[in-house]
Amino acid sequence: MEQTDKKGYPARFDLVVWSFSETRGIGGEELCYTNVCLNDVKSKVEPKVKEAYRREKPVIITDASAKNPHHWENKTRNIRLQNGQIRKIHIRFIKSFNQAQILY
């Protein structure tokens, strides 16, 4: 997940995770993400994704949205989809990674 290619861009991978919402009490559906990458502040953003960011409305950052998400403590990661959207996943809900089944 955290690897980069020769140009320094994040490596792409396929992921299947189970959905879960503790607040709404629903989940259990399989979500398939293909050709996604780990979203990291340190990693480069591909040019076509930068263009998608420019088309969206600007985001106003406040103190509440700038807080540390504690990904390692909460066992969550942000992944960037092909269209530039960012999704948060819980690592315990990963079913398969690059067609390899994950067992806990």
Per residue of the chain (104 residues), give pLDDT as tens: 677 778 877 889 999 999 888 788 888 899 999 999 988 755 556 555 555 555 555 555 455 556 677 777 878 888 999 888 999 899 899 999 998 998 87
Q: Which amino acid is at 29?
A: E
* pLDDT the model gives residue 96: 93
**What tokens were used for 47?**
């040019």
Residue 29 and residue 19: Cα distance in Å, rounded?
Answer: 5
| Nearest-5° Cα angle at 23, 32 to 73 | 70
Calculate the alpha carbon distances from 23 to 20, 27, 28, 38, 65 in Å: 9, 11, 14, 25, 20
* pLDDT the model gives residue 73: 80
Q: For residue 36, count other CB atoms closer than 10 A to its CB.
A: 20
